[in-house]
Amino acid sequence: MKKNFVVKTVLIAVIAVFCSSHVSGQTLYALKINGKIRSEAVDITAKYQPRLVMGMDQALEFQGTVAKFLVKRKAIEEDETLFPKAKYELLKQLSSKETMAMADVLESYRFQEYMRIKPQIQPILEPTREQEDIWAATSEAN
């Protein structure tokens, strides 16, 4: 009898730890999604909508996923310690993760179209040699 109580208590504690860490991670992004990010996510979703023809619930989930990744993208773009090439590589990795997350949001036929049009709607521009030189010159000056 006492053994069952201990097992249940431990099980509840483990579940509580996993649930709280998942919720706090989502809360962090929710706090960072400000009006500007939300507006940008709405605009990006609107660009996809004519081609993906999502229902309202799906479009909202799509928009939320876009917003979450926009927060991460802005953090990379605003990091002054990264070389332009490093930012580019991190942005490519982030874009791949966003694409994988969209596989959970979209049906396979919509997902295929999403992958096809994403480079036009959300391009990741490779840094030019001039940008690399400017970054190197300013970092040497500091």
Local confidence band at 47 (pLDDT 50, 70, 90 cut-offs): very high
Average pLDDT of the chain? 81
The answer as to whether 22 is a domain residue is no
In this prediction, residue 93 carries a pLDDT of 97
Whether pLDDT at 11 is above 50: no
The answer as to whether 126 is a domain residue is yes
Q: Higher-confidence residue: 18 or 105?
A: 105
Give the tokens for residue 52.
């993906």
The answer as to whether 95 is a domain residue is yes
CB-based burial of residue 61 (10 Å sphere; 0-12 exposed, 13-18 middle, 19+ buried)? middle
The answer as to whether 100 is a domain residue is yes
Number of domains within the chain: 1
Local confidence band at 136 (pLDDT 50, 70, 90 cut-offs): low
In this prediction, residue 76 carries a pLDDT of 94
The answer as to whether 59 is a domain residue is yes
CA of residue 132 relative to chain centroid, distance: 26
The answer as to whether 14 is a domain residue is no
In this prediction, residue 127 carries a pLDDT of 84
Distance CA 16, CA 103 (A): 28
Range of the domain at 128: 33-136
Q: Which residues are CB-neighbours of 45 under 8 A, at least 6 positions away?
A: 59, 62, 63, 66
